[in-house]
Structure 1
Amino acid sequence: MSSHSPTSMREMLKQPRAVWAVAFACVISFMGIGLVDPILPVIKDQLHATPSQVSLLFTSYLVVTAIGMLFVGAVSSRIGAKTTLIAGLAVIVVFAGLAGASGGVDGIVGFRAGWGLGNALFIATSLAVIVASATGGFAGAIILYEAALGLGIAVGPLVGGLLGGISWRGPFFGVSALMLIALVATALLVPSTPRPAKPTPVLASLKALRHRSLLTMALAALAYNWGFFTLLGYAPYPMELGVHELGFVFFAWGLLVAAFSVWVAPRLQARFGTAPTMYVVFAGLAVLMGVIAAGVEHPAVVVAATIASGAFIGVNNTLMTQAVMLVSPVERPVASSAYGFLRFIGGGLAPFVAGKLAAASGFGLPFWVGAASFLVAIAILATGHRMLARAEASAPAAHGETPEEELAVPEPAGEGLDLDRLADEAPAARR
């Protein structure tokens, strides 16, 4: 059984202003993921595009985010975390606005790629800032970050549906305006952090994947996100709903993501441990994807299974982020970038492949492949089960201690927690 204890809501809410400013910006940033869901069919119809072409709105955005993740640590260590956050937000403001002003699907896809670059600068740095600045310990910081993610994912489709009912351009302009507000809040409320004594090497994040612990979790995240973004990118089509109805469906889904991230994940983790809980979550998602695949011609089945998946996704998002940070043998900003690279590669490629599969064999096949990807995630995670269990039991952060200010004085890339030594010493320490 895990030694984690659930973080209390009162403890999690006692945060510095800087944490709340970054968390607000995270909500707006993650709105961009689900924002386009309600307007996918509208863009397809009004811009005379195929579902495969429209899927590139996810692919260009997420693949560029993934590649950008590799270099965020090096950028942040040279210009500072706050400047990196502001730069990322500024890029999103510009490219979200340009996407809204675009005249065709190819233009939107291209500007979503630029949006993805800003997303990379912001996401990796925001996680590191929240973990370093939040009170209430490492676990509480992760829960707060995932709560922002869940809330953004929930609100994104609702805003997308409401504004998309006016015009497909509305959601893009809406995010641009909200990100401008987030940029101002970050500039005013987030203090400047000292730069590390030694800048992070440009290839530090890529080299970090040589460590088996980090690579195992990142590959599991790749498989998980393949299924996740297959659901997010293709479920709207067989639902056969209008833009407002799609907005409310994914709003309900996102509310479950947020609620289970904050309230349910810590309790399941405390009761059963991280890895066992994740196995059940992956299996549950595989079942739900199978239900969608088998019932793809019945919109009510697709809607119900999609909404229910939010509960499993909420639990897994929190536990997977914590697990990556626990087992990583490098400093957390580098770990976040390396993990984000493979995570978003899976998310970016999945909608594109799903489009090709759907064009060849109908809507059912992409969801069967998505179900299989969750089972692959179980197999990958199982190879690191003992490693994760030992790190979870032994790491000080698992017991609610406040993490060090890793943004200010990071360890040299490629060094840090020695998991092999930790695994050998942990039993003796407990005795």
Structure 2
Amino acid sequence: MESNIIQSTPNPVKIEDRRSKAVWAVFFACIIAFMGLGLVDPILPAIANQLKASPSEVTLLFTSYNAVMAVAMLITGAISTRLGTKITLLAGVVIIALFSTLGGLSGNVWSIVGLRGCWGLGNALFVATALTAIVTLSKNGTAKAVILYEAAIGLGISVGPLLGGELGSISWRGPFIGVGVLMVLAFVFLITLMPNSKKQHMKTTISKPLSSSLLDPFRAMKHRSIVVFGIAACLYNFGFFTLLAYAPFVMGLDAHGIGYVFIGWGVLLAFTSVYMAPKLQQKFGTVNSMCMMLTVFALVLLIMGIWTSTQWVIIAAVIFAGALLGNNNTLITTAVMKAAPIEHSTASAAYSFLRFIGGAISPFLAGKLAEWFSPHIPFIVGGGFVLISVIFVLTNRHHVKHVDSVEASH
């Protein structure tokens, strides 16, 4: 009788081994998924030239992508609780692969903008679920899990421009099709290394009312800390995507050159997100460190706005900004995961909805500001929004000060 009980007891070592493999499967898939962002960046001027589109029209590739992501983030929790983490991740990967490939086969900037929006739906399913999966499966705590997630983002973004520059020098279509091929590789990683959800767990989650799940992200916003970080990230993304989507137009470089600049940007982003952000967090606290990084980033954008016509200043500023963005991404994501006593997936959905609103508006706004006024204005306005995010966080500090005490207790 005793031997039967012992045999039926799950082996803790095997369970931990499966969890570890699952974490690394999601990690590698994240690298490949975020390569898609960097792959496209070096070819933005080429798309404008070859498809006879204005910079503001080309920046709509980021606007449609982020707008769909913002809205889709609200339903990712409801979808993942019904389909399970693995199937949701795979669905996101398939959607990205399909619509990125179709974008590469398109010959019209407006059709690419629409397909890029569908691509955003796939990315929403993948990104929100991937963060939750890594945090949930990791045995090293939330802070280290977030660092791992941000490291995957940094590695993907840093490698992507190199490949995008190489493929983009052949044709602007290359990076789009390249994303599709890489997503097939991500699909293989996930389907082979990530375990399926348990049937018992699936029954439990399916029995949860759909209306409750869909409303959860809105209910999460009753926690002021989530709203504070979400609005701050929305304002910060005005600067982030101004740099990402508009800077390539004023660098005066070809696809190869832009790719090399963003390699430096991405390497610093990856390095600081893993190694520097935790040290800043320990020494100065999450909120203080976040405000410092945002303030310096605002100053960098102001410098880019003043010396827009000086090529080496723009290139150096973009690369240096990678260090600031890597730190801030880890700091703010960790803060959100600790901000409120709710499920990680719900917190991520509510926060991501707010932050991607800024990512949707800012690229198109940057292009239009350049057309209406001058190439200097987008960076100055972006820096202004980032500075407002600092003021907003400091003004609402009493709503988020508990994040540092929660972090210290872990």
TM-score (norm 2): 0.91
Which of the numbers 162, 165, 190 marks the counterpart of 1:161? 165
Q: Which position in structure 2 is the counterpart of 1:312?
A: 324
The 1-side partners of 2:338 and 2:113 are apart by: 36
Matched, 1:55 2:59: yes
Q: Which position in structure 1 is the counterpart of 2:208?
A: 198
Which of the numbers 253, 256, 278 marks the counterpart of 2:290? 278
Query: Contact 1:327/1:387 (CA < 8 Å) preserved in 2?
Result: no
Matched, 1:177 2:189: no
Give the C-alpha shift of residue 379 in structure 1.
Answer: 1.3
Return 186-195 or 56-65, whichever deviates more: 186-195
Which of the numbers 21, 26, 30 marks the counterpart of 1:22? 26
Matched letter for residue 27 of structure 1: I
Secondary structure of 1:329 counterpart: coil
Secondary structure of 1:204 counterpart: helix
Give the C-alpha shift of residue 392 in structure 1.
Answer: 2.4
Secondary structure of 1:60 counterpart: helix
Matched letter for residue 292 of structure 2: V
Matched, 1:119 2:131: no
Matched, 1:392 2:404: yes
Q: Which position in structure 2 is the counterpart of 1:219?
A: 231
Which of the numbers 267, 279, 283 marks the counterpart of 2:279? 267
Matched letter for residue 339 of structure 1: Y
Q: Which position in structure 1 is the counterpart of 2:13?
A: none
For 1:71-82, list aligned pairs within 5 A: 71-82=75-86
Secondary structure of 1:16 counterpart: helix
Q: Which position in structure 1 is the counterpart of 2:48?
A: 44
Give the C-alpha shift of residue 399 in structure 1.
Answer: 4.7
Count of residue pairs the alignment pairs up: 386
Give the C-alpha shift of residue 49 in structure 1.
Answer: 0.6
Matched, 1:65 2:69: yes
The 1-side partners of 2:259 and 2:39 are apart by: 9
Structure 1 unmatched runs, 5+ = 1-13, 401-431
Give the C-alpha shift of residue 33 in structure 1.
Answer: 2.0
Which of the numbers 192, 211, 221 marks the counterpart of 1:209? 221
The 2-side partners of 1:384 and 1:241 are apart by: 42
The 1-side partners of 2:19 and 2:275 are apart by: 18
The 2-side partners of 1:163 and 1:15 are apart by: 36
The 2-side partners of 1:329 and 1:351 are apart by: 34
Matched letter for residue 354 of structure 1: A
Give the C-alpha shift of residue 64 in structure 1.
Answer: 0.5
Return 179-188 or 289-298, whichever deviates more: 179-188
Query: Contact 1:238/1:296 (CA < 8 Å) preserved in 2?
Result: yes
Matched letter for residue 312 of structure 1: L
The 2-side partners of 1:27 and 1:133 are apart by: 18
Q: Which position in structure 2 is the counterpart of 1:258?
A: 270
The 1-side partners of 2:360 and 2:245 are apart by: 10
Query: Contact 2:42/2:258 (CA < 8 Å) preserved in 1?
Result: yes
Which of the numbers 216, 221, 240 marks the counterpart of 1:228? 240
Q: Which position in structure 1 is the counterpart of 2:359?
A: 347
Give the C-alpha shift of residue 188 in structure 1.
Answer: 1.4
Matched, 1:31 2:28: no
Secondary structure of 1:49 counterpart: coil
Give the C-alpha shift of residue 15 in structure 1.
Answer: 7.2
Which of the numbers 97, 100, 114 marks the counterpart of 1:96? 100
Matched letter for residue 316 of structure 1: N
- Considering only aligned residues, what root-mean-square deviation do their CA atoms show, in Å? 1.6
Deviation sequence 1:379-407 (CA, Å, 0-9, x none) = 12113323333232135xx554xxxxxxx
The 2-side partners of 1:325 and 1:316 are apart by: 14
Query: Contact 2:338/2:406 (CA < 8 Å) preserved in 1?
Result: no
Give the C-alpha shift of residue 330 in structure 1.
Answer: 2.0
The 2-side partners of 1:15 and 1:277 are apart by: 32
Bigger proportion of residues as helix: 2
Matched letter for residue 239 of structure 1: M
